[in-house]
Amino acid sequence: MDLHLKDRRILITGASSGIGLATATMLAAEGARLALCARDQDRLRAVTAPLAEQTDVVTASCDVTSKQSVEDFVGRAVDHLGGLDGVVCNAGRSLMSTVEETTDDEIREEFDLKIFGALNVVRSARKVLASSDAGSIVVVNAILSRQPESRLAVTAAARAGLLNLSRSLANDLAVDNIRVNSVLLGLVDTGQWQRRYADSNSALDFAQWSAEIAADRGIALGRFGTAEELAFPITTLLSPRSSYITGAALDVGGGVHRYI
């Protein structure tokens, strides 16, 4: 199926690894033109070099919690691509900590990253997205936003705020014909989980170790997801074929949920 993404101009934050990189790779295969950012520009350029052989790619270092940094990146993207048709707000992390263990500064940093990490991008890109005939924003969030865990207490709270904000943005930006949707991930095999596995010193291999965690978390499919399995729904929500979907939150978690 043609997703009508050829030559569409898509900006992705947090694009140097995991879901961001997988989404960029899938979009490049569809013929989209890309503006990609991450904190480490050298690493970003290295991992996205193959994409530049397929399509038009501009890269930059960007701190999504800084309004000026984001405005500079969006301006560079628009200058290079001639506009924007889509944005993927993907930059983020998880803070493995209970409320008692988390300092006030860590709490502020977590909310700053989750809320302003998306809001700065949306504010900076809104005007140019409004000039597109298919403006779309996808916010990469987590099922954690709907089912808090004590081990991720502050991250869960920040993600809940981001989910609520994303729905409000869908209502606010509809006047400009910009769609805003959320993809809520479950447990995904990314660098963060690989590092946790290495730190665990487990005698199990990663597949066995992660399967035990999946069982403990009640994942129906019994395994972690892959970055590519997240990239697909993100890509389809960016597609003009999804033109009547906005304000939605799609769970991509292998069947894990403890809510109706």
pLDDT recorded at residue 192:
78
Same domain, 23 and 103: yes
Same domain, 26 and 142: yes
Residue 85 lies in a domain: yes
pLDDT recorded at residue 260:
67
Residue 88 lies in a domain: yes
Range of the domain at 215: 187-224
Same domain, 138 and 208: no
Same domain, 122 and 201: no
Same domain, 61 and 166: yes
Same domain, 17 and 65: yes
Residue 258 lies in a domain: no
pLDDT recorded at residue 102:
84
Q: How many domains does the chain have?
A: 2
Residue 17 lies in a domain: yes
The answer for residues whose C-beta is within 8 angstroms of residue 255's C-beta and 6 or more apart is 219, 220, 221
Same domain, 153 and 233: yes
Residue 71 identity: E
pTM of the model: 0.95
Same domain, 101 and 209: no
Residue 142 lies in a domain: yes
Same domain, 132 and 200: no
Residue 43 lies in a domain: yes
**Ramachandran region, residue 138 (left: φ > 0; alpha: ψ -120 to 50; beta: rest):** beta
Is the distance from CB of 250 to CB of 233 less than 8 angstroms? Answer: yes
Cα–Cα separations (whole angstroms), residue 139 to 11, 102, 104, 181, 237: 12, 25, 26, 6, 10
The tokens describing 188, both together, are 């995904």
Same domain, 145 and 193: no
Residue 257 lies in a domain: no
pLDDT recorded at residue 106:
92
Q: What is the CATH number of the domain that holds 129?
A: 3.40.50.720
pLDDT recorded at residue 59:
97
* Per-position DSSP letters for 64-124, written without gaps between them: TT-HHHHHHHHHHHHHHHSS-SEEEE-------B-TTT--HHHHHHHHIIIIIHHHHHHHH
Taking only the tens of pLDDT, the chain with its 260 residues reads: 899 999 999 999 999 999 999 999 999 999 999 999 999 999 999 999 999 999 999 999 999 999 999 999 999 999 999 999 999 999 887 877 788 888 999 999 999 999 999 999 999 999 999 999 999 999 999 999 998 887 889 999 999 999 999 999 999 999 999 999 999 999 999 877 888 888 889 999 999 999 999 998 899 999 999 999 999 999 999 999 999 999 999 999 999 876 76
Same domain, 68 and 100: yes
Same domain, 177 and 204: no
Residue 34 lies in a domain: yes
Q: What is the Cα 154 distance to its own chain's centre?
A: 18
In the sheet that 57-61 helps form, which strands lie side by side, from edge to edge?
Answer: 57-61, 33-38, 9-12, 86-89, 136-142, 179-185, 249-252
Is the distance from CB of 6 to CB of 238 less than 8 angstroms? Answer: no
